[in-house]
């Protein structure tokens, strides 16, 4: 029985420690869908967590659980964090939506922040990034730089988030290069580096000299490097190890400013439920350094486009735009509303192929 009593005392010490800590520290929990070592989505969220720790030092305690499957496991992990005194919990995957709402009902005093969803409550905010703004910059550079006029695009699953990115990139590539053509491959996986590598080589073999990816691994970068004359863009993280060529720029998810602001709000008691969809202006979407492989004038235009979006002067989906079937979508000067964008399930005019259903 000695061993058991040892365990008891350890557990008690632990219990006391957590209670003591809860009094003066703000406790922030993070629920991750992948491992922090995925080099992409979860990796960037974890960087946001580390930024929170750095910003607030002793005043904050962060905890995280990684590779949490969506569904009941997520619900349990959130409940556990709430029970252990978390004041604020970030749940960082779309599939955590209903679990977050369920747990939030049970803990009205704990604040929840759900990434990429659409259900809010008094103590549940949602937040997401306007990655399509970054896609606009990519599309511009891609349209200018392609010599074969063929741009390859690797998508994960046909969901609004990915379709929005394809549309945005296409609109801006087309604007600067009317002959441009998109080849789209749906990988039907969130994560399979080998398959992403295959998809990239296939696109290159079929004449693409620019590869855009909506998957997180660097496999397409390596495939492009091997091919030699193909450019790519980093996704989710900077992927600067492939700069200056083939990686000429990147879209970076920068969650740190948001995480710091929301933690601060909880500390100050000013936290309110919100629906945040931030872009380049707020710094949630960052454009990684545009390398010297891009001609100076193109780089300048791309930066100007970025600056226009940062200043709120330009919306990537500004009319006139038609849907793929030729029907009108946006009139002259009209910009897309967030509702349509959030649920986007159609291609814009000019894109070929169908969205798989």
Site string for another protein, 298-327 (x = CB under 8 A): ------------------------------
327's tokens: 């029907």
Nearer to another protein, 182 or 258 (CB): 182
Beta carbons of 156 and 187 less than 8 angstroms apart = yes
Nearer to another protein, 217 or 263 (CB): 217
DSSP H helices, 118-159, are 131-145
Site for another protein in 209-238 (CB under 8 A): 217-219, 222, 237
Q: Which of 52, 60, 77, 302 binds another protein (CB under 8 A)?
A: 77
Strands 231-236 and 275-278: unpaired
- List the Cα angle 115/135/196 in 5-degree steps: 80
| Distance, CA of 290 to CA of 287 (rounded, Å) | 8
| Distance, CA of 88 to CA of 81 (rounded, Å) | 9
178's tokens: 């009317």
Q: Report in angstroms how near the CB of residue 117 gets to another protein at its nearest.
A: 8
Near another protein by CB under 8 A, which window of 75-83, 129-137, 293-301, 306-314? 75-83
Q: Which of 20, 83, 304, 307 binds another protein (CB under 8 A)?
A: 83
Nearer to another protein, 163 or 280 (CB): 163
Q: Report in angstroms how near the CB of residue 41 gets to another protein at its nearest.
A: 11
Q: Report in angstroms how near the CB of residue 296 gets to another protein at its nearest.
A: 27
Near another protein by CB under 8 A, which window of 262-270, 298-306, 320-328, 337-345? 337-345
Q: Is 91 helix (H, G, I), strand (E, B) or coil?
A: strand
Q: Which of 53, 55, 175, 198 binds another protein (CB under 8 A)?
A: 198
Site for another protein in 236-295 (CB under 8 A): 237, 241-242
| Distance, CA of 349 to CA of 167 (rounded, Å) | 9
Near another protein by CB under 8 A, which window of 124-132, 172-180, 184-192, 291-299? 184-192
Q: Which of 22, 50, 65, 261 binds another protein (CB under 8 A)?
A: 65
DSSP H helices, 159-295, are 160-176, 193-205, 219-227, 256-268
- The dihedral built from the CA positions of residue 67, 221, 314 and 332, taken in this order, carries a sign that is negative
Q: Which of 50, 121, 176, 202 binds another protein (CB under 8 A)?
A: 202
Nearer to another protein, 102 or 298 (CB): 102
| Distance, CA of 154 to CA of 138 (rounded, Å) | 14
Q: Report in angstroms how near the CB of residue 36 gets to another protein at its nearest.
A: 8
Site for another protein in 138-167 (CB under 8 A): 152, 157-160
Nearer to another protein, 238 or 305 (CB): 238
222's tokens: 């390596």
53 is a contact residue toward another protein (CB under 8 A):
no
Q: Which of 53, 55, 66, 289 binds another protein (CB under 8 A)?
A: 66
Closest CA to 152 of 134, 170, 172: 170
Q: Which of 22, 25, 53, 102 binds another protein (CB under 8 A)?
A: 102
Q: Which of 199, 210, 211, 321 binds another protein (CB under 8 A)?
A: 199
How many CB atoms are located within 10 Å of the residue 189 CB? 14
Beta carbons of 31 and 78 less than 8 angstroms apart = yes
The residues, any chain, with a CB within 8 Å of residue 220's CB and separated by 6 or more, are: 154, 196, 197, 199, 200, 211, 213, 232
* DSSP code per residue over 81-134: HHHTT-SEEEE-SGGGHHHHHHHHHH-TTSEEEEES----BTTEEEEEE-HHHH
Near another protein by CB under 8 A, which window of 79-87, 130-138, 253-261, 270-278? 79-87
């Amino acid at each position: 029985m000695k061993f058991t009593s040892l365990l008891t005392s350890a557990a008690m010490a632990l219990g006391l420690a957590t209670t003591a800590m809860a009094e003066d520290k703000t406790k922030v929990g993070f629920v991750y869908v992948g491992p922090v070592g995925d080099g992409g989505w979860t990796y960037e969220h974890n960087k946001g967590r580390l930024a929170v720790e750095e910003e607030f030092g002793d005043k904050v305690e962060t905890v995280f659980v990684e590779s949490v499957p969506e569904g009941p496991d997520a619900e349990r992990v959130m409940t556990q964090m709430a029970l252990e005194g978390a004041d604020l919990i970030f749940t960082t995957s779309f599939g955590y939506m209903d679990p977050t709402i369920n747990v939030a009902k049970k803990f009205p005093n704990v604040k929840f922040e759900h990434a990429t969803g659409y259900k809010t409550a008094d103590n549940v905010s949602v937040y997401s990034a306007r990655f399509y703004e970054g896609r606009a910059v990519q599309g511009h550079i891609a349209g200018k730089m392609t010599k074969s006029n063929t741009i390859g695009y690797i998508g994960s699953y046909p969901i609004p988030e990915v379709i929005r990115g394809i549309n945005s990139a296409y609109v801006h590539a087309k604007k600067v290069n009317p002959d441009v053509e998109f080849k789209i491959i749906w990988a039907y996986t969130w994560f399979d580096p080998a398959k992403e590598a295959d998809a990239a080589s296939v696109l290159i073999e079929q004449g693409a000299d620019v590869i855009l990816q909506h998957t997180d691994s660097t496999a397409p970068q390596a495939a492009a490097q091997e091919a030699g004359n193909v450019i790519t863009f980093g996704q989710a993280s900077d992927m600067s190890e492939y700069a200056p060529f083939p990686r000429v720029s990147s879209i970076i998810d920068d969650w740190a400013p948001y995480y710091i602001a929301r933690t601060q709000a909880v500390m100050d008691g000013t936290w309110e439920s919100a629906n945040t969809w931030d872009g380049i202006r707020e710094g949630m979407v960052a454009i990684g350094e545009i390398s010297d492989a891009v001609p100076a004038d193109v780089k300048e235009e791309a930066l100007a486009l970025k600056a226009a979006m940062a200043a709120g002067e330009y919306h990537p989906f500004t009319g006139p735009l038609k849907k793929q079937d030729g029907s009108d979508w946006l009139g002259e000067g009209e910009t897309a509303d967030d509702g349509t964008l959030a649920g986007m399930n159609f291609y814009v005019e000019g894109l070929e192929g169908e969205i798989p259903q």
